[in-house]
Structure 1
Amino acid sequence: MILEELNLQEDDPGDVAATLLEEALFPGHALGREVLGTRETVEALDRRSIAAFHDRWYRAPNLVLAAAGAVDHGRLVERVAAAFADRGGGEAPVRTPPDRLPTEGRTLRRPTEAVHVAWGWRSLDRHDPRRRALALGTHVLGGGLSSRLFQAVREDRGLAYSVFAGPHLYGDAGALTVHAATDPDRAGELRRVVETEVAEVAADGITADELEIARRGFEGARLLGLEDSGSRMTRLGNGQSLYGRVEPLEEFVERLRAIRLDEVNAVLAEVLAPDATVAVVGPGA
């Protein structure tokens, strides 16, 4: 099954471009390696090694179980405790931050109908107090139908069906990426337009109106998410596993509303000022 997933991923030039970008952003580091592994590493696995891995890491102190909905909390705790009664101990994985600078980028020639381009910058880790300011700024840059990139790339020029930007926050590092695909004859124009928009945001920042629209969108999305049990469960699990606590809704809103325009523009300038690492997949790449 994993080998089939690898095959499917290899058939998607957008996924290939994303993988090449990660390899270039985090050279020689686990963050730069494909999560699924490679055909060689997957085929080398046997039952004994998988069972040993499971026995070492899948223990009660390393796990977070989240539930939302019509749940009897006390009964759930009792059943989980019984199920993991003999699964104590455990150890935290030792993480090593990336220690090498990004490379210039990667290209891969393929006879695809479109050229897929991915830009990336090293960014903040998930514990950085400026992470929400960066998220708001990134949303204005390429996070929706009214974003700078969507308007410049799709609405104004018809260069791509979709273009999007997003932050990726890890425990000891981070990245901000932009992805788009276009006709091979217009690949150069796409790169110029995206890189011009990014440079303008890095140099001049976003406006107060753009920040307010993004802020309201973030707040509304969190509130709407509370209407869905699955979203509530995900929020509980992510908060506990990534930050060791579940942030109360009131605290989230208060912190979001406290973010200033100068804070957003400062972190955008810091992250986007360096030259991007670029991965390209397609004909003539």
Structure 2
Amino acid sequence: MVEKLPNSKTFILKNGTTIVVEEIKNLRTVSIGILVGAGNIYENKNNSGISHFIEHMIFKGTKNMSALDIVSKIDGIGGKINAYTSKEFTFFYVIVEDKHFSTAAQILSDIFLNSLFNEKDIELEKKVILEEIKLHKDSPETEIHDIFAQTALKNHPLGMPILGTEESIKNISRESIKSYLKSVYLPKNIIISVAGNIKAKNVLNFFSPIFSKKNESNKKLSSPAIEIKSNCSLKTKNTEQIHFVIGTKGPMFNDEKKYTYSILDNILGSTMSSRLFQEIREKRGLAYSIQSYLQSFRQTGLFCIYAGTKKDTFEQTLYLILEEMKKIKKDGITDEELNRAKESDKGALVLRLESSKSRMSYLATSQFYFNRIVPVDELTRKIDRIKKEDIVELANEIFIKDYICLSVIGNIKKLP
């Protein structure tokens, strides 16, 4: 009998905090994560970037440990501790040898629940993040993705940059941090995820007393409705290349067509064998970087295509991308393309679950977006059911002028 992947157990504490555990006995590691549904989605122009700011501040010290103590203790057991912020959640995690579970779990819980947020540290971190924003703006191949999100999602919080703006970062204070934590870091908005050589009952026994202390809240988190419509933007800048993203609406995380989108993405531009990579880079040498990608959220999604090319070939590259969209709409795809994309997507699903860290991340995000742990077999069955006509139908639905958005950074004064 093939073991269910992932084979996990889920527990809900009385205050709403979720704990998900997968016991993997053949590993010598254990990965522990705490996901909180805090990102751009619950921010506004005044506090844009506060979720990412808090992610940084969590490591600055607690009532029990200094910032140096935190990293020294993790280094002392050969572990890794880190965090990242997305548009919809912030994720703190640690990876250690299984025998150090209790030490790692205690450190992670302490920084998550007991961080001090000292005024001096806040002012210092503002300088760090302002420099991070400047670094981001100095990299047009990175900045263009933020500009496209703002263009496609307009004034919605999801369209704001994760780092925030220079103005919003300067506005952050200890009071605004505490207010945000109180309104968003709610027990029902927290998922603790653990995967590795550890028993589920030991995980529950460790975290339950600690996280049950957080008071239950009836507050309902909400965000504005969103609709994607055609839009364009241009940032004129003296760059060596023209960097641009062209895109359209994409799938929500729970969209039944999500894997149809993924197959279309695979065939069009997300792999080295894709049409755009072969046509634009391999056959014509117009770009070094050409790729498509999906961004999925709870309320909406984006289907994006990025390329960087010289000024003289910008319009040609853009034209070729639009032509490939038209070809799929009119002529469809081949059996070979469909089968290759299916196997590629199914293989990627399994390969992403080869370590305790990847399993832990999968458990947390699956619980966050679907309110359950979705078995990989369920996803592969959805992929297997996709037909060529499904791809054509989707292409004709989304590759239309009503949804197409374009953002450009480069040394040009107007769009074609």
- Which TM-score band applies after superposition, normalised by the shorter structure? over 0.9
The alignment partner of 2:272 has SS state of coil
**Corresponding residue of 2:6:** none
1:265 equivalent in alignment to 2:412: no
Whether the aligned pair in 2 keeps the contact of 1:199 and 1:273 (CA below 8 Å) is: no
**Identity percentage over the alignment?**
26
The number of aligned residues is 284
The structure 2 residue matched to 1:7, chosen from 134, 146, 156, is 134
Aligned to 1:244: 371
Q: 206, 221, 233: which is aligned to 1:106?
A: 233
Is the contact made by 1:123 and 1:174 (CA closer than 8 Å) also made in structure 2?
A: yes
Indicate conservation of the 8 Å contact 2:254/2:369, yes or no: no
2:267 and 2:341 in contact (8 A); partners too:
yes
Letter in 2 for 1:222: L
Equivalent residue of 2:196, what SS? coil
Give the 3-state SS of the residue equivalent to 2:281 in structure 1.
helix
SS of 1:15's equivalent in the other structure is: helix
Report the counterpart of residue 206 of structure 2 in structure 1: 79
Q: Does the Cα contact within 8 Å between 1:202 and 1:273 map onto a contact in 2?
A: no
- Paired amino acid for 1:277: C
Task: Report the secondary structure of 1:180's partner residue.
Answer: strand
Who is 1:95 aligned against? Answer: 223
**Taking structure 1 as the reference length, what is the TM-score of the superposition?**
0.94
Contact 2:151 2:405 in 1 (8 A): yes
Change (3 A) 1:138 1:99: closer
Whole-angstrom CA distance in 1 between matches of 2:257 and 2:157 = 24
Please report how far the alpha carbon of residue 88 of structure 1 lies from its aligned counterpart in structure 2 after TM superposition.
Answer: 2.9
Offset, 1:146: 0.3
- Segments of 5+ residues of structure 1 without an aligned counterpart are none
Does residue 34 in structure 1 map to residue 161 in structure 2? yes
Pairing 1:279–2:410 present: no
Distance 1:6 1:223, change over 3 A: same
Q: C-alpha separation between the residues in 2 aligned to 1:204 and 1:111?
A: 39
Out of 355, 361, 376, the residue aligned to residue 234 of structure 1 is: 361
Matches of 1:259 and 1:194, distance apart in 2 = 24
TM-aligned CA distance change 1:226 to 1:22, over 3 Å: closer
Distance 1:225 1:68 in 2: 14
- Answer with 45-54 or 77-86: which moved more: 77-86
Partner SS, residue 293 of structure 2? strand
Instruction: Show CA shifts across 1:247-267 (max 9, x none).
Output: 112222222211222112211
1:59 Cα deviation after fit? 2.7
More strand by share: 2
> Per the alignment, in what secondary structure is the counterpart of residue 67 of structure 1?
strand
Structure 1, 198-207 or 1-10: larger mean CA deviation = 198-207
By relative contact order (CA 8 Å, sep 6+), the higher-ranking structure is 1
Q: Does the CA contact (< 8 Å) of 2:295 and 2:301 recur in 1?
A: yes
1:195 and 1:268 map into 2 onto residues whose CA distance is 12
Q: Which runs of 5+ in 2 are unaligned?
A: 1-127
> Does the CA-based 8 Å contact 2:294-2:301 persist in structure 1?
yes
Task: Give the whole-Å Cα distance in 1 for the aligned partners of 2:187 and 2:156.
Answer: 28
Structure 2 CA distance for aligned equivalents of residues 254 and 14 of structure 1: 36
The root-mean-square deviation of aligned C-alpha atoms, in Å, is 1.6
SS at match of 2:306: strand
Q: Which moved more, 1:122-131 or 1:5-14?
A: 122-131
Give distance in 2, aligned partners of 1:141 and 1:76: 43
The CA distance in 1 between the partners of 2:354 and 2:145, in whole Å, is 33
Compute the displacement of 1:100 (Å): 6.5
CA–CA separation in structure 1 for the residues paired with 2:135 and 2:332: 39
Aligned match of 1:165: 292
